[in-house]
Amino acid sequence: MSIAGQDTGSPTLEQVAALAGVSRATVSRVVNGSPKVLPHTVEAVNRAITELGYVPNRAARALVTRRTDSVALVVPEPDSRIFSDPFFAGILRGVSTALAPTSSQLVLLLEPASAPDQVDDRRLLRYLRGGHVDGAIVVSHHGRDTIIQELAQLPLPIVFSARPLGVDVPVTSVDVDNVAGARTAVEHLLSRGRRRIGTITGPLDMTAGVDRLAGFKEVLAEAGLPDDAVAVGDFTADGGEAAANELLASHPDLDGLFVASDLMATAALRVLSERGRRVPEDVAVVGFDDSVLATTTTPRLTTIRQPVEDLGARLVELLLAQINGAPQASPPLFTTELIIRDSA
């Protein structure tokens, strides 16, 4: 690119200023988003930037604005689980879509399966404290995770994908109404004439696991039915299979099953088939998520839809508001919806 016939390589701030007819300092203020520039000047500078193909130096800009234009998505789960569970793909789509119109880049921070937990936690905390990102979103956290309390206390804008268990400081979180979703699932099984209903829970050190079990128990208590057919899962296919085998061994009379995730429900369907139990004739099954898996099972899975991509987008909205110092309303719970297919 050249100004006045002189080839200068990559466009510079000075070249943008010359083309726009303003000072270098004015261009710098426009690039850094200063409100102290007249609209017609901003327009002239942006035209010059477009014409020259100028790309701001992010490192230099960070020195001025104290911003990195990066946000972290922290998932304290082994990477093997993250890439096998459709829930995480939905969250990532929602986060990426919401960040697309902004200048912020996404940094994905996972827990390597082979790393010692404490060592890796220290590395993660050092990174977040080191000014590498403007804020963080934390997804799929467990009450047993020692790092969660420290994450909540970081001097950094941070949003959790559900209320973190065991944290004693105020935090911003966004969640689905898991209690209501579980209630809907069990009420549907009751409406289909099922009276001996069991559940495979999520991990009971996670909000989703605790709340979905609470909804299950509430409905059965109101119906005057036993709520003791409970096996604890871990939101994985292997965990769902083990829990289904445990549950059917101890409660062979089950005629209804609420499973706290679609991934575990697919495993439960396989176990039922292996044991010669027909679905839905012998045992009606309801999952939770309405992931892509729900339409690939045999029979197709009746499930509770949660708006995962909307959840991801809302997490970004709240985080950016924190970063920019904007006032934040208390986020409402996202509602769920029963999706009826062949399994119930």
User: 110 and 130 share a domain?
Assistant: yes
Give yes or no: residues 192 and 170 share one domain.
no
Query: 155 and 136 share a domain?
Result: yes
- Do 265 and 326 lie in a common domain? no
Instruction: Looking at the structure, tell me whether residues 86 and 145 fall in a common domain.
Output: yes
What's 197's domain CATH number? 3.40.50.2300
Mean per-residue pLDDT over the chain, rounded? 87
pLDDT of residue 56: 65
Query: So what's the pLDDT on residue 243?
Result: 97
Q: Are residues 216 and 265 in the same domain?
A: yes
Residue 339 within a domain: no
Do 315 and 277 share a domain, yes or no? Answer: no
Helix (H) or strand (E) run with residue 147 in it: helix 146-152
pTM here is 0.78
Same domain, 137 and 228: no
Residue 292 included in any domain: yes
Q: For residue 256, what is the enclosing H or E element? A: strand 256-259
| Same domain membership, residue 230 and residue 216 | yes
Residues 205-248 have pLDDT tens digits of: 999 999 999 999 999 999 999 999 999 999 999 999 999 999 99
Q: Which domain holds residue 322?
A: 70-175+310-333
What is the CATH classification number for the domain harbouring 32? 1.10.260.40
With respect to residue 13, please indicate whether it lies within any of the assigned structural domains: yes
Distances (CA, A) of 200 to 165, 209, 213, 258: 20, 9, 9, 7
Band (179; pLDDT cuts 50, 70, 90): very high
Residues contacting residue 272 through CB under 8 Å, at least 6 positions apart: 244, 248, 257, 278, 279, 282, 283, 285
Q: What are the tens digits of pLDDT across the range 5-61?
A: 344 467 888 888 899 999 988 887 887 666 778 888 889 988 988 888 877 665 455
Residue 115 in contact with residue 124, Cβ under 8 Å?
Answer: no
Q: What is the mean pLDDT of residues 129-134?
A: 86
Whether the pLDDT of residue 330 is over 60: the answer is yes
pLDDT band at 262 (very low <50, low <70, confident <90, very high): very high
Q: How many domains does the chain have?
A: 3
296-322: pLDDT as tens digits: 999 999 999 999 999 999 999 999 998
155 or 137: which carries more pLDDT confidence? 137
